[in-house]
Structure 1
Amino acid sequence: MPRTAQPTRDRIIEAASKLFYSEGIGGVSVDAVAERAGVTKRTLYYHFLSKDDLIAAYLEGRDQPNLALMARWFKEAEGGPATKAQAIFIHLAKAARHPKWKGCGFLRTIAELAAMPGHPAVKIGARHKRSFETWLAREFADQGEDTAAELARHIVILLDGAFSAALTHRDAAYLEAAGRAANQLVASAQAGRKRRR
């Protein structure tokens, strides 16, 4: 889309998203975002009251697309819930092999703002993680899993731990290993349910 056809606010968010994800929120100034977006600093502040507002908009913009993508991976995977849960990790491992991959943008932003738990972006990040967990629990419940909420929480713990390990070691194999563990967890829960019947 030509720059003139894209709304200014969207252009600023797009520029901020690229810079914040690539360099971290602390390493990017408002001036850098304005320059990347091709606007003046005054124009940026017309659309966003502060850098904090811009950081929140950055995460807000990632929320639904990321959730929709993981839901699509789950839905399109062949097999039962164990294989479908593992598919999310397999796709994330592929993404982690890209040279520009910098981990989970939500976790990285929350970590940078750890001393500011009331920051709007921290709340958005927490909401995103809860939304994923709630969605996954619903998927498991729809399959008849009576421990769906606990199972979904275990998968989230695996996922966020794998994000951290993959980023720390620059090795996507951690995501694949976590995917196999997720598969085993879900399969074990299913087997336990069958034994109880």
Structure 2
Amino acid sequence: MGSKGSFNRNYLRMKINQFERWGMSSFSGILVLIFGFIALLFPNIAISALAIYFALAILIGGVVLTSYALQYRHVVTNWKSKLFEGLLSLILGVAIILSPKSAAAFLMIVIGAWAILIGLIFIGTFFVKKTSQIIDVLNLTSGVISVTLGAIIIFNPFDSSRFVVILIGIYAIIYGILSMVFSSKIQNHTNE
């Protein structure tokens, strides 16, 4: 009977890890994609309004991560880090909603830095893997674009919030699509 309970727990852990790998990536990809389309369709929207949407996306992600961590704390080994990440997201989301104008300037820096970091990760992944598959070339290309857009967003040489909103929208759409492609590749790999 002990081995059956162990099997059920291991099976549950495997299913949770599969959800964590492709489900969360797909979920965040969809949120970022929506964010990107809003930025492109309504470029005259104030940066502070985008900050509020960003805060809502962070809050939703925080609620999902926090509930996930608490619900599966007896099964998942890294539940404390997921709980911390979820609570931090909730705090950050509330702070942005309470002061959107102050958060807007900070948001520009965060989005730019995030774009640069993600771009460097994509570029690094390309050079570590050293393959020329189409997905790897897409990673390299999106990495270079991401670093470039991140630098433009941070330094904003054109001093135009409309231009920055459009850049953010383009980047968010690219990142959202790549997140969903990546999550589907993970799902296909785990189903094999």
TM-score normalised by L of structure 1 = 0.33
Structure with more relative contact order (C-alpha pairs < 8 Å, separation 6 or more) = 2
Select the structure that is richer in helix. Answer: 2
TM-score normalised by L of structure 2 = 0.33
